[in-house]
Amino acid sequence: MTTINLHELAALDEAQRQALLARTEADLSTFLEPARRIVEAVREEGDAAIVRLAREIDKVELRPDGLLATEEEFAAAEKALEPEVKEAILYAVDNIRRFHEKQVPEPMWLEEIRPGAFAGERWTPISSVACYVPRGKGAFPSVMMMTAVPAVVAGVKEVIVLTPATPEGGIDAASLFAAKASGVGKVYRVGGAVAVAAAAFGTASIPKVAKIVGPGSPWVVAAKRLLADHIDTGLPAGPSEAIILADATANPDLAALDLLIEAEHGPDSSAYLVTDCREVAERALARLPELIANLGPQRREFVSKVLGGPRGGIVLAPSWDEALRFVNDYAPEHLEVLSDEPFAHLGGITEAGEILLGENSVITIANFCLGPDCVLPTGGWARSFSALGVYDFMKRASIGYVTKAGYGELARQARVLATYEGFEAHAQAVSPLRDRLAGRTES
Ligand SMILES: NC(=O)c1ccc[n+]([C@@H]2O[C@H](COP(=O)([O-])OP(=O)(O)OC[C@H]3O[C@@H](n4cnc5c(N)ncnc54)[C@H](O)[C@@H]3O)[C@@H](O)[C@H]2O)c1
Ligand SMILES: N[C@H](CO)Cc1c[nH]c[nH+]1
Ligand SMILES: [Zn+2]
């Protein structure tokens, strides 16, 4: 029998409230040291370490020259999959592509900021990126699509995928099919901290890349933290988390149903139903046991651990403002707003990776096929990071152009500031000496 937490916010002191806001990623202490040993092994031994660590950690036999998925494996995956799974993947890829194509910025803009002073920006794709697709507590063709599609839309030349092998040494069939549908052909069987290190340093068979994106277990998160000086590790995406925010008009049964969605990812996930309505809280609480009983043993164990543990359950706020304050302090990865008037609440929500409005906008739909990316900042990082998108696969260069006519005024102002900061060469470069060296009359 699962015990589900009912936290009455008004009865908590500040320390107890802060404890509810904490996430698994806040304490990586048990992962960092072993992850450091893994990273060093991959740096020193390359593919040999990948094979050895796959055997030791994942109990799977790999060949150093067999890490890359073959054409035969892609073909076999396509053959093995049920038509309805392939159709759903193609449908999702289409929506995800449509959404991300909307994000593509103008390649360049240039404005005349002052007479003769032009300034702007040019966007170009990052040259090489690794998409990490988890496969520990389940396969994630969804993450394959959500990472690969924006990379391809952005125009990244070298997109590779890193994903743990199946226990038989293969690669999940739907993930392979999704890679191909997304426009990516290089999929390597390597996972966890090993994969992050391989992307950072490169090995004989895996190319070193400029950036790694994609969510993962604390092993992946720990390795990214250790390797942040070697590779761009992008937005922090760790164990999944969600808040269902429900007002008095919400259907409590749906609130209970949707609370289980992200809680089932694993015991390290976080999930809260936040409401200011006691009736919604109590009716959802009463409904949960039967919904949990519908799940298989593993998912039942995960949701029970989350909803009865330190990072889950129902939060009853003394007012709607307090409910909103809790949500904004938490900065959830996924936020589902259950209300007859969900748009009325949008203005009060300032910190969330994804905001899904109303009872039809179910987290499940957004996780798989609505279009926006399901790779989102966790651990409170939604305060400053955004959902994965085309921008994560591109960078901007500032562009400047000063005409002969514009030069004089800009040079005068710059010389004053350079002199104030004590930069003599800076000042000299825009002094009358420049005019003489350029063979023109003083400006
Ligand atoms: N934030 C997001 O956008 C998002 C999206 C999807 C999934 N997720 C999260 O990603 C995570 C996926 O985790 P997962 O476990 O399913 O897959 P994973 O691929 O991230 O982790 C499995 C790998 O971790 C490594 N590992 C496992 N045990 C280890 C040990 N004892 N020592 C060293 N390495 C070890 C292994 O290499 C293994 O292959 C989940 O927490 C899920 O909630 C987040
Ligand atoms: N909820 C995950 C992001 O936190 C995405 C996902 C994919 N499959 C199931 N869920
Ligand atoms: Zn999910």
Residue nearest atom 15 in ligand 1 by C-alpha distance: 136
Residue ranges lining ligand 1, Cβ < 6 Å: 34, 57-58, 134-137, 140, 143, 164, 191-194, 215-217, 219-220, 237, 239-240, 265-266, 268-269, 333, 374-376, 378
| Ligand 3 centroid – CA 242 distance (Å) | 9
* Catalytic residue IDs: 333-334
Which residues pair with residue 274 across a beta bridge? 245, 315
| Ligand 2 centroid – CA 367 distance (Å) | 5
How far from chain centre, in Å, is Cα 355?
15
Q: Is 147 in the pocket of ligand 2 (CB under 6 A)?
A: no
| Ligand 3 centroid – CA 378 distance (Å) | 12
Helices (H), 236-296: 252-263, 278-293
Ligand at minimal distance from the CA of 265 is 1
How far is residue 219 from each of residues 30, 166, 238, 265, measured CA to CA in Å? 10, 18, 9, 16
* Architecture category of domain 29-105+123-237 in CATH: 3-Layer(aba) Sandwich (3.40)
Counting ligand 2 atoms within 8 A of each CB, the residue from 140, 244, 261 with the most, and so the one to mutate, is 140
ipTM for this prediction: 0.97
Assigned token pair, 78: 């396509």
* Pick from 159, 298, 131: nearest CA to 216: 131
Q: Is 374 in the pocket of ligand 2 (CB under 6 A)?
A: yes
Q: Is 142 in the pocket of ligand 2 (CB under 6 A)?
A: yes
Neighbours of 334 (CB within 10 A): 25
Assigned token pair, 103: 């994000």
Q: Is 175 in the pocket of ligand 2 (CB under 6 A)?
A: no
Ligand at minimal distance from the CA of 241 is 2
Q: Is 240 in the pocket of ligand 2 (CB under 6 A)?
A: yes
Q: Does domain 6-23+239-371 have CATH number 3.40.50.1980?
A: yes
Residue nearest atom 36 in ligand 1 by C-alpha distance: 192
What string of pLDDT tens digits covers the 443 residues of the chain? 679 999 999 999 999 999 999 997 778 999 999 999 999 999 999 999 999 999 999 999 999 999 999 999 999 999 999 999 999 999 999 999 999 999 999 999 999 999 999 999 999 999 999 999 999 888 999 999 999 999 999 999 999 999 999 999 999 999 999 999 999 999 999 999 999 999 999 999 999 999 999 999 999 999 999 999 999 999 999 999 999 999 999 999 999 999 999 999 999 999 999 999 999 999 999 999 999 999 999 999 999 999 999 999 999 999 999 999 999 999 999 999 999 999 999 999 999 999 999 999 999 999 999 999 999 999 999 999 999 999 999 999 999 999 999 999 999 999 999 999 999 999 999 999 999 999 987 66
What pLDDT, on a 0 to 100 scale, did the predictor assign at position 440? Answer: 86
| Ligand 1 centroid – CA 138 distance (Å) | 9
Cβ 130 vs Cβ 212: under 8 Å: yes
What pLDDT, on a 0 to 100 scale, did the predictor assign at position 1? Answer: 64
Neighbours of 39 (CB within 10 A): 23
pLDDT digits (tens, 9 = 90+) for 8-44: 999 999 999 999 999 977 789 999 999 999 999 999 9
Indicate left, alpha or beta for 192 from its phi (over 0: left) and psi (-120 to 50: alpha): left
Determine if the pTM surpasses 0.80.
yes
